[in-house]
Amino acid sequence: MLSYHPPMELTRIGVTAAAGAYSVIIGGGAIESLPAELNAAGLGPRRIIVSSKRVWKLHGKRFRHATTERVPVLVDDGERHKNLVTVGKVHDALVKSNADRSTVVVAIGGGVIGDLAGFAAATYLRGIRVVHVPTTLLAQVDSAIGGKTGVNHPLGKNLIGSFHPPSLVVADPVVLDTLPRREFRAGLYEVVKYGVISDPSLLDRLRTSLPAIVAHEPAAVAPIVAACCRIKADVVSADERESGLRRILNFGHTVGHALEAATKYRRFRHGEAVGYGMLAALSIGVVRGVTPPALYEEIQSLVAQLGPLPRVSDISSKTVLAAIARDKKVVAGKLHFVAATSRGHTTTLTDVSEKEIRTALKTLGLRA
Ligand code: NAD
Ligand code: GLY
């Protein structure tokens, strides 16, 4: 059931990366321009699509004009398939089709497809180009931009990966029409993140226009996607490899990633785990005296408004703390923890204790 949306004006955002600048093109009808954009960016001659079975079944016909191959590479998506086994399947397909260094991988799917196809592209022949066509809200507002690629290890989230920026990103809200409600909501938690760390007007917009947003009205969704992409583009252009500023994008992710690992990547959508993670970060900030209690209350009520989150009452804090200890954000033994100081502003704490995290987990409802 594909609905028609009249063409909207496309937004084009530039991203700077060490490997070369690239464009993010956003708006209703952006997919129609994919072949022309690929040609204009010199992305060819061969283009191999990597997508998921589900996404291809729903949207494959929109993309047949973007590939030079008869069949796309289709793998399973969902968090529990984001691993080296699935990356190996993409490698196998690239080898079998004699992909060479000029071949371009076109990743069409959610954040899982983007991360694993990006990592396959980063590692095949020591790196071939990748283009992202994100099909979930989460991927459109966040994961398609910035070049982080990789997969999970059973003991920790995204522990295996590389920075491999795309050569082009094309985000069209039309594909979000088929997104299950829960997946759409999962993307909204990342929008809340951008509101807290950078642009409070996103928080206001979420609160006041939620019905139009959850109805996937392109006129309500496209500006949100564009606003988030602008923030992400600015941040990763200034700090591609996360040596400073980019850490703000990890707001809510320390506890979020640990919740995902502690439940073996089966219970939470990534965005849902970030929803809990943001509340944990805010409550630590409040106890520390760096976060205004009013901000905690505002985000708690917005998160509740977005919908139910999976239960956490049966998850032990000990398991989550063990996962946090393996987090990539631990630098020289110190956990870099992003805390909010006001709407749109953050600070990094490097001395958050296990006890403080344990208290925050208790506030979320985890067992000791
Ligand atoms: P996902 O890729 O697993 O997609 C969620 C589900 O939606 C899947 O079942 C998929 O088949 C389905 N789907 C995708 N597009 C659809 C469509 N248009 N219609 C119907 N169904 C569709 O999950 P996600 O939430 O998109 O991405 C989460 C992943 O992104 C996590 O692994 C997270 O770590 C990663 N991530 C990466 C970055 C980065 O910078 N690289 C940033 C944020 C998140
Ligand atoms: N989602 C975190 C980052 O891209 O840096």
Nearest ligand (C-alpha, residue 261): 1
* Alpha-carbon gap, residue 358 to 261, rounded angstroms: 17
The tokens describing 73, both together, are 């590479």
Q: Which residues are annotated as catalytic?
A: 126, 148, 190, 232, 242, 246, 250, 253, 257, 270
Q: How far is the CA of 198 from the centre of ligand 1 (A)?
A: 23
Domains defined along the chain, listed by start: 11-179+216-237 (3.40.50.1970), 251-364 (1.20.1090.10)
Q: What is the pLDDT along the chain (368 residues), one digit of tens a residue?
A: 444 444 568 999 999 999 999 999 999 999 999 999 999 999 988 999 999 999 999 999 999 888 878 789 999 998 999 999 999 999 999 999 999 999 999 999 999 999 999 999 999 999 999 999 999 999 999 999 999 999 999 888 899 999 999 999 999 999 999 999 999 999 999 999 999 999 999 999 999 999 999 998 888 999 999 999 999 999 999 999 999 999 999 999 999 999 999 999 999 999 999 999 999 999 999 999 999 999 999 999 999 999 899 999 999 999 999 999 887 667 677 788 899 999 999 999 998 999 999 999 999 999 99
Give the residues surrounding ligand 2 with Cβ less than 6 Å away.
142, 146, 148, 246, 249-250
Which residue's alpha carbon is nearest to atom 40 within ligand 1? 143
- Dihedral (C-alpha) 66, 69, 70, 74: value to the nearest 10 degrees? -80
Q: How far is the CA of 20 from the centre of ligand 1 (A)?
A: 25
Give the CA distances from residue 158 to residues 63, 85, 225, 260, 345, in Å, rounded to whole numbers and listed in that order: 28, 14, 24, 11, 26
Residue 366 in contact with residue 263, Cβ under 8 Å? no
> Which of 143, 184, 231 has the most ligand 1 atoms within 8 A of CB, as the residue to mutate?
143
pTM: 0.95
